[in-house]
Structure 1
Amino acid sequence: MPSYKIRLLENINEMQMIEKLMSDIWRGGAEDAVPSHILIALIHNGGLALGAFEDDEMVGFVFGFPGISKTPQGFQVKHCSHQMGVHPDHRGKDIGFALKKAQWQMARQQGLDLITWTYDPLLSKNAHINIARLGAVCNTYRRNEYGNMVDELNAGLASDRFQVDWRLNTKRVKRRLGNDSRAVLGLSHYDKADTQYLYAPDSDSASGLLRPPKDFSPPNNSLALIEIPSDFQTLRGIDLSLAQDWRFFTRKVFEESFNAGYLVTDFIYDRAGKKPRSLYVLSHGESTIG
């Protein structure tokens, strides 16, 4: 049994706990935390806030609000999941996954079948939970979505983000949430399927850090792979200029791939070699999201 419990948050005291936890996680100052009076207004008007508690201490949260997506069939009401965080002292306990699963259940009770949110596509841990474990997909890249951020996790980089679609009632998502082993495919599977590598990163002989190549091959196969550094935050801490190079290089790769009709459908964290590797899988066509 997990050491924490997930519960729905409904009062101002709980909103103040979220506000404090935001400051503890991102350490960017009070101006970067969503004020509790805004949070309470959101949840009293169709929004959802969930907290993870160990005893009486909030150690994680997720919150969002109703939104609208424009589709070829018209406007679709959705849940916009704005922010999720877990206290650094309590990571590695699957709290984030449990919060998202509870959010999935609550949004479906509201009659919704779509949740969207954003995350930094260069963060492997976030990609692993969002794409590989939750089954979200992505073909939307947003440049510098939040402007110049000053918190410890984002300072010095353009705040580029993926906006992912989590289609709540698809077999794909239900299998991922149910830990169905048939939904998990490794790098060897994609290699056997002749999946196209869009580029091969260079490795710095002195530091061992991955460097983006000068160019890449446009995707022309049904499946394509895009490799990113397996620990981007460590790389950023060592060489901010290199982190910026990765941001601008992958921006171009993802934007061109999405414009060509490709969709992120999987993420691989491969430990077979001497060093771990992190790769996105892109599929051509929308039939892959079911």
Structure 2
Amino acid sequence: MRTAHEAAGEAAAKAGVTIRELHEIGEFVQVYRLFDDIWHPDPGNPPVTVELMVGFAHAGGYVAGAFERGTLAGASVGFRADGTTLHSHVTGASIGRGIGLALKLHQRAWCLERGLTEISWTFDPLVRRNARFNLTKLGARPVEYLPNFYGVMGDAINEGDESDRLLALWRLTERPEEPPREPYTVGVSVQGGRPVIGRVDGAVVLVATPPDIESLRRADPGAGRAWRLALREVLGGLMVRGSQVAGFTENGEYVVIN
């Protein structure tokens, strides 16, 4: 079996990057600029400030960058939470090149080396590619639905939408079992690009997501809002009453066990 460090090294090599912890002001400024290029946030709403990165790194938190031939191509910032958990506050990288996976595996190795056995983070439940990456690629599991967690977010990705989030928990020494797929009921389906709310009374409930919520928000804000409210009602409602998200299908559906 590969060690955590070997897995992280292999992922970084495949992505063509070198990943290391960051400690200098100039490096934190590079991260700030990279995140600005990714999210294009309002001036008063950056994902993380340089000052916070300074504080997190000095206090034993996780601030790391992925470099491609000396140029920063991805970064991740986290702080220690309760017990043996690191909360990964923000991670950003070029999409589709494996840099995000390399950063996450580096973060995993960093945590295990320090006796931390869990990583938590939040993500938008409507962003299908992130849900698939988090649940399928990493094996993390959502443990809480957080309505409008950060308030209304003004940036190029969120487009002024309310910031409902799923709190994901990645148990670093475990691999979750694959969930059953049948029999199931359909809690949310897609019809004409919009959500249709169905039944949530089955042993297994499937909750669909839009193929590309970011483009949909720009093209049809009303449809984006409808998706937000549908997942808040169905997925959020199921989780509040104790149902567990156990996986994510190839068709872009959350698998929820009642």
Is the TM-score greater than 0.5?
A: yes
The one-letter code sitting in structure 1 at the alignment partner of 2:92 is G
Shift of 1:41: 1.1
Contact 2:66 2:74 in 1 (8 A): yes
C-alpha distance in 2 between matches for 1:48 and 1:64: 5
Q: Secondary structure at the match of 1:152?
A: coil
Aligned to 1:78: 85
C-alpha distance in 1 between matches for 2:239 and 2:112: 28
Aligned Cα RMSD in Å?
1.8
TM-score (norm 1): 0.79
Contact 2:39 2:157 in 1 (8 A): yes
Alignment of 1:72-151 (within 5 A): 76-86=83-93, 90-151=94-155
Q: Secondary structure at the match of 1:121?
A: coil
Contact 2:186 2:206 in 1 (8 A): yes
C-alpha distance in 1 between matches for 2:161 and 2:135: 23
Q: 1:28 to 1:114 in 2, by over 3 A?
A: same
Shift of 1:153: 0.8
Contact 2:188 2:234 in 1 (8 A): no
5+ residue gaps in structure 2? 1-13
Summarize deviations over 1:184-218 as a string: whole Å, max 9, x none.
Answer: 78xxx82xx32322243322xxxxxx1122x4312
Which one of 279, 283, 290 corresponds to residue 253 of structure 2?
279
Aligned to 2:189: 200
The one-letter code sitting in structure 1 at the alignment partner of 2:86 is H
Aligned to 1:262: 243
Which one of 51, 68, 77 corresponds to residue 65 of structure 2?
51
* 1:66 paired to 2:44: no
The one-letter code sitting in structure 2 at the alignment partner of 1:242 is A
C-alpha distance in 2 between matches for 1:149 and 1:200: 26
* 1:219 paired to 2:201: yes
Summarize deviations over 1:125-172 as a string: whole Å, max 9, x none.
Answer: 111111111111113111111112111111231111001111111133
C-alpha distance in 2 between matches for 1:265 and 1:50: 30
Contact 1:219 1:257 in 2 (8 A): no
Shift of 1:263: 1.4
C-alpha distance in 2 between matches for 1:21 and 1:46: 22
C-alpha distance in 2 between matches for 1:202 and 1:37: 46
The one-letter code sitting in structure 2 at the alignment partner of 1:83 is V
Which one of 209, 229, 242 corresponds to residue 210 of structure 2?
229
Aligned to 2:161: 157
C-alpha distance in 1 between matches for 2:142 and 2:225: 22
The one-letter code sitting in structure 2 at the alignment partner of 1:17 is Q
Summarize deviations over 1:8-27 as a string: whole Å, max 9, x none.
Answer: 22222211111111111111
C-alpha distance in 1 between matches for 2:34 and 2:188: 39
Contact 1:135 1:265 in 2 (8 A): no
C-alpha distance in 2 between matches for 1:30 and 1:255: 31
Percent sequence identity is: 31
C-alpha distance in 1 between matches for 2:163 and 2:49: 21
The one-letter code sitting in structure 1 at the alignment partner of 2:191 is D
Aligned to 2:10: none
Aligned to 2:41: 28
Summarize deviations over 1:68-98 as a string: whole Å, max 9, x none.
Answer: 2xxxxxxx34111000011xxx321111111
5+ residue gaps in structure 1? 69-75, 173-182, 204-209, 271-277, 285-290
* 1:42 paired to 2:56: yes
Which one of 232, 239, 257 corresponds to residue 220 of structure 2?
239
C-alpha distance in 1 between matches for 2:231 and 2:217: 15
